[in-house]
Amino acid sequence: MNQTLLNLVLDYVSNNIGTFHKKRIQSLDTLKLDKVLRRKNPYLFKAKYQLTSEQIIRSLIDAHISSAEEGIFGDWLEELAIFVNSQVYGGKKSGITGIDLEFDLDQIRYLVSIKSGPNWGNSSQIKKMESDFKTAAKTLRTSNSGLIVKAINGCCYGRDNKPDKGDYLKLCGQRFWEFISGEEELYSELIEPLGHTAKTNDDLYQEAYAKMINKFTIEFGKDFCKADGAIDWEKLVHFNSAK
């Protein structure tokens, strides 16, 4: 492993991982109970025998967190990948629609669409990516007809042992990090620095999480519980689904 590159990555992660944690907290701070209640299935709460406000609120917030964190951290990893490539091959964040990273290597222009993991999209989303690749290559060749362009769907984690997808390569996990850095073991070296200040940042996050649980539990109790404390399921379903 190139120690100079590893040190640059360590510094980058140390200086920027706080951004991820701040956005995690912001995703909670902007949450509104009425909005998340309208997006969730009230029949499921009843079917799971959730009888307290806190049980329902935790399931709502935890579902939101699971979805939000994947997207927030995926965006953060994309920036890390671009940084790594810029240090090794002089790559840059692309200004072309649907393309995240551009760089030249061995007289080839690589266009990279970066995703978190291998199971990132449905068939229509994949077709949209393929269309973006074709449009980008056509645009680049307009100004340089001899340019060799190759498209890459890079996934920051996971595996795909059949990377050749015809019009593009799908490189996941170790294959992706090695492709953008030239370093075979970078994918495993990344795991340690990501824990930098994790405990301190998570303490702040857990405090924000607890406040949100308490706040929403009180709101839910006022709006959807009867005088005896039981959940008013009819009122909840009406709020969620009535025409």
* Predicted TM-score (pTM) of this structure: 0.85
**Is 110 in a helix, a strand, or coil?**
strand
Are the beta carbons of 169 and 151 closer than 8 angstroms?
A: yes
Are the beta carbons of 8 and 195 closer than 8 angstroms?
A: no
135-158: average pLDDT? 92
The helix (run of H) or strand (run of E) holding residue 151 is: strand 148-155
Residue 57 has pLDDT above 80, yes or no: yes
Contacts with 26 (C-beta within 8 Å, 6 or more apart), sequence order: none
Sequence ranges of the domains in the chain? 3-241
Q: Which of 241, 223, 201 is nearest to 76 (CA)?
A: 201
User: What pLDDT, in 10s, does the model give residues 217-226?
Assistant: 999 999 999 9
Mean of pLDDT over the chain: 93
Reported as a pLDDT band with limits 50, 70 and 90, residue 199 is confident
The structure tokens 């061995």 sit at 106
Are the beta carbons of 89 and 105 closer than 8 angstroms?
A: yes
